[in-house]
Structure 1
Amino acid sequence: MTILKKLKATAVAGLMGALLAAQPALAQSELDSFKPGEPEAGVEIPSADVKFGMKPYADNTFYIIAIQKGWFKDVGINILPEPNGIALNETNTIPLLLNGQVDISSNWCVGMMPTYTDTNELKCIAFIDNIVSASILANPKLGLKSFRDYVGEGKSFDEAIKLALAPINGKTLVGPPDATARPFENTAADLAGVEWSLQALEDSKSVVLAMSGRADFVHPNGAPIVYSLLKAGWTPLITLDDLLTHGPRGADSPIVALVNSTGIAANGNFVNENPNTVLRFLSVVWRTIDALEKDPGLFDLQAPYLNSVAGTSLTGAEITDMVAKLHPYIGFDGSEPWYADANSPTNITPVYDAIIADLEKSGVIPAGKITTDTFAWNRPIWELAKSYRDKASDLIEKVKAGSPTPEQAELLASAEQHFAWFNYLDAYRFALAASE
């Protein structure tokens, strides 16, 4: 789903009115940036309550695995309300974040940008996955090769995309009626040097055409439709993932504005009042993603909860497959291209700069009310965690190289345990105590 369409779907602009009118506008300087805290003294992990909410989507509810496994409690976090936090939806997420009934939530961060007309409280604090479901699919009866097939044969990006999309040149593409669905299509067509006629249909109608064999080329708007057609054998001629992985890079790349990610949102006041709690919370997220990569069977724990809040009937295996194909998760190390690689097509600065410019141009947000750095605190938070990781690693090696006493060895073991859990703040604290 494209950016403006998702903003319409969440009805952000409409639901803000009365709520934001009652909100006192904060001084911009108060919440311009993330404010790190000092590591707590001693080696006790403090207890902290976090009012956490999840929206009813596959990539918004995997946190239930960590809740059920007790991983938040491992770092002193109590998820409230018990047992599973708050079940959110598109209507109540932003109001609850603004009024403090929710501290942290799973969310599509861009959907919060319109609130900056009146307040700068809401922040993005992490990216969880890259939504790459945008796809131009071909009927399996055509027996066509995909972009990935051609790349696998050793073709360059330019060769592969031209060969993959050549069969659609001059033909009809069934795509969503909303004009904001065009950027992916237009970018792919321009890069391949092809043209097609558009038959605009809602997904409910386009999938009927596709499944009945009356459409040859389809660009579904929703990830579930893409997933169902892929399971039915349709060929992904080109996908957003293909463009991001192999396409032109740099801030001027036409692909930059197509990047779309699910993230973690928070009330900025809560973040700056509880920066260490935020680090510990995110450590559990990174731990969970790492655990899912190693043991996809953990998705079986997510399926019942997801089905209960989304009305779906997915199995753990189907969630695993959907995540891998349509929105692969971004763990701690996987975040580096987003925050530390200036040439990455997913680097947060050009991506969010492009999104903000697009929303300003469309009139969704006023010009000059929001910047990437004041809205998205992902990078400084991730960099702080990385700095604790590096310091903890050095201290752990230093203690190991000596002759640790039994007390030091116990502290070292705790440091290594929290390091393995991605809780680099407490790994540093335990390693520092062991080194003294």
Structure 2
Amino acid sequence: MTDKTGTRGLSRRHVLQGAAALAAGAAVPGRVWAQASKAPKIPEVTVRLGGFAVTNHGWTVLAAKKGFLKDVGITMAGGAPKLLRETQVLPQLNNGELDISTMWFGLVVQALDKETEVRPILSYSYFQGNTVLADPKAGFKSVDEFIAEGMSWDKAAEATMRQMKGKRFAITASPSTYPWNEFALSLAGLSMKDTQTVPVEDPRAVQLAIGNQVDFAAPGGAVQCYQLQYQAGWKPIMSTRQMVKYMPAGAESAVNDLLNYDLMMCTQKYLDSNRDTVLRWCGATYKTLDYIFGPQQKQALTEYAPFISANTGAQMDADAIKFIFEQIDPFFQWKDQANLWENESYPLYYKNLYNYQIRKFVKAGTIPDKNYDLDKIFQAKPLWKEMVELKVKTEALMAKLDGSASAERKALAAEAKKHYDSFNYLDASRFMEAAVS
């Protein structure tokens, strides 16, 4: 499954120099156009995609359903992502059962010494939906209520979480939420051992809560959090959103321990052999996000709802998914990538989050104390930079084509513009090169 169009090895300096030269060429009057180069070919490939059966992972089905992958020569195996338990994703990615997978990076950072081959290729959201919800009839107060009474954050957080001591607490059976639950309880000097934890699957946690069999619940899935808060009326007493709102931020802030990217990953081996496919995949992903968050959002989410409802057991509609995508799991689109990779003052800058978390796991003995090169791990950064360079190159080539060009050249340019508008900057540049050569 290796693509054959080759890698470019572009440097930003060379691309910008070439762009300047091309732009200068556009100003030369009276150019006589020769025959255009032959139209480039886009190879046909199949990609096996995996991910979690949760709302902010299954949306990738729209990339296949709407033809955005087909436009760049990619077929998603089975026409939909293979939705798995979170503990199954990394093994299947590493053993070659999957080519690309969505992933929550919080499960990777605490195992960086073992997960040495997986590489993030695109970061698309972050989860701020960890929430402890309380029985609305029991009189428990939220951290917001304690703060409204005049308490400082520290005192309010302690008072909020102390209410859970000895109480029945439904938690997700998978381990991904445990660090957050432990952190939240530690604000009152407690741990999960100080509560009567009930580890269950997320849908069961909702059933226990609605049936008054637990006092508190912290489902790991955004769907179940939404069901409890907005359909069953349970009160959120502590959440990541509240922590981010009230806690001090910055590179050394404990807030960095609460946030993690949802992203797409492949192995280094797959990336090395299929870089062009990965670039096309990323372009189709940004196109899908543009569809989800654009003027046709209601249509996009309505089309997505049956798939995620069938795979989560929850009846989701467009409004519920919109809430999850904008409040629980805010997304990063193409326009947001520069902040992730280049803006050190941005709270979600990758090194702010993951240098902090790595130090924490090293200190705790979870991972060995050695160098973990985030720039090597996060291949999403150089891939994004390459896409930016190809975009700049395409724009310069577009400026070079003038009105005297042949119909054949204009047709190639039109094809380039189609790919350009769909974030497929690799083939946009290839078609424009053919149009002006």
CA contact (8 A) 1:54 1:61 kept: no
One-letter identity of the residue aligned with 1:47 = P
Q: Which residue of 1 aligns with 2:27?
A: none
CA contact (8 A) 1:98 1:267 kept: yes
DSSP-derived class of the 1:251 partner: coil
Distance 2:160 2:349 in 1: 31
Which deviations, in whole Å up to 9, do the C-alpha atoms of 1:304-347 show, x marking residues without a partner? 33344444443444333332331122211123332121112211
Distance 1:358 1:334 in 2: 27
TM-superposed deviation, 1:90:
3.5
Q: Which residue of 1 aligns with 2:279?
A: 279
TM-superposed deviation, 1:292:
0.7
Structure 1, unmatched stretches of 5+, are 1-34, 152-157, 191-196
TM-superposed deviation, 1:348:
0.9
CA contact (8 A) 1:349 1:372 kept: yes
Distance 1:275 1:281 in 2: 10
Structure 2, unmatched stretches of 5+, are 1-5, 11-36
CA contact (8 A) 1:147 1:160 kept: no
One-letter identity of the residue aligned with 1:287 = K
Q: Structure 1 residues 102 and 172, CA, compared in 2 at 3 Å: closer, same or farther?
A: closer
One-letter identity of the residue aligned with 1:185 = A
CA contact (8 A) 1:164 1:237 kept: no
Which deviations, in whole Å up to 9, do the C-alpha atoms of 1:128-180 show, x marking residues without a partner? 211111235566677989859x99xxxxxx99958986984864476667862
One-letter identity of the residue aligned with 2:282 = L
CA RMSD for the aligned pairs?
A: 4.1
2:388 maps to which of 382, 386, 401:
386
Distance 1:119 1:418 in 2: 34
Distance 1:92 1:167 in 2: 38
Distance 1:366 1:186 in 2: 26
Question: What TM-score, normalized by structure 1, do the two folds share?
Answer: 0.73
TM-superposed deviation, 1:213:
7.6
Query: Which aligned pairs between 1:240-279 and structure 2 lie closer than 5 A?
Result: 240-244=240-244, 248-279=248-279
CA contact (8 A) 1:97 1:104 kept: yes
Distance 1:367 1:239 in 2: 31
Q: Which residue of 2 aligns with 1:227?
A: 226
Does residue 425 of structure 1 match 2:426?
yes
Q: Structure 1 residues 188 and 337, CA, compared in 2 at 3 Å: closer, same or farther?
A: farther
Does residue 334 of structure 1 match 2:333?
no
CA contact (8 A) 1:117 1:369 kept: no
DSSP-derived class of the 1:71 partner: coil
Q: Which residue of 2 aligns with 1:96?
A: 92
TM-superposed deviation, 1:287:
0.9
2:74 maps to which of 73, 77, 81:
77
One-letter identity of the residue aligned with 2:410 = A
Does residue 180 of structure 1 match 2:179?
yes
TM-superposed deviation, 1:423:
1.0
Which deviations, in whole Å up to 9, do the C-alpha atoms of 1:184-242 show, x marking residues without a partner? 5268779xxxxxx9645337697678647898876555534421232134454653235
Q: Structure 1 residues 117 and 387, CA, compared in 2 at 3 Å: closer, same or farther?
A: same
Distance 2:357 2:266 in 1: 20
TM-superposed deviation, 1:272:
1.4
Q: Structure 1 residues 291 and 187, CA, compared in 2 at 3 Å: closer, same or farther?
A: farther
Distance 1:69 1:413 in 2: 21
Distance 2:162 2:242 in 1: 22
Distance 1:234 1:369 in 2: 44
Query: Which aligned pairs between 1:29-44 and structure 2 lie closer than 5 A?
Result: 37=8, 43-44=39-40
* Greater CA drift, 265-274 or 48-57: 48-57
Question: What TM-score, normalized by structure 2, do the two folds share?
Answer: 0.73
CA contact (8 A) 1:113 1:365 kept: no
Q: Which residue of 2 aligns with 1:345?
A: 347
Which deviations, in whole Å up to 9, do the C-alpha atoms of 1:386-408 show, x marking residues without a partner? 22223323443x247x4352334
2:49 maps to which of 53, 56, 74:
53
CA contact (8 A) 1:203 1:222 kept: no
* Greater CA drift, 160-169 or 274-283: 160-169
One-letter identity of the residue aligned with 1:409 = K
2:103 maps to which of 92, 107, 113:
107
Distance 1:89 1:187 in 2: 28
Q: Structure 1 residues 119 and 200, CA, compared in 2 at 3 Å: closer, same or farther?
A: closer
Does residue 121 of structure 1 match 2:92?
no
Q: Structure 1 residues 256 and 117, CA, compared in 2 at 3 Å: closer, same or farther?
A: closer
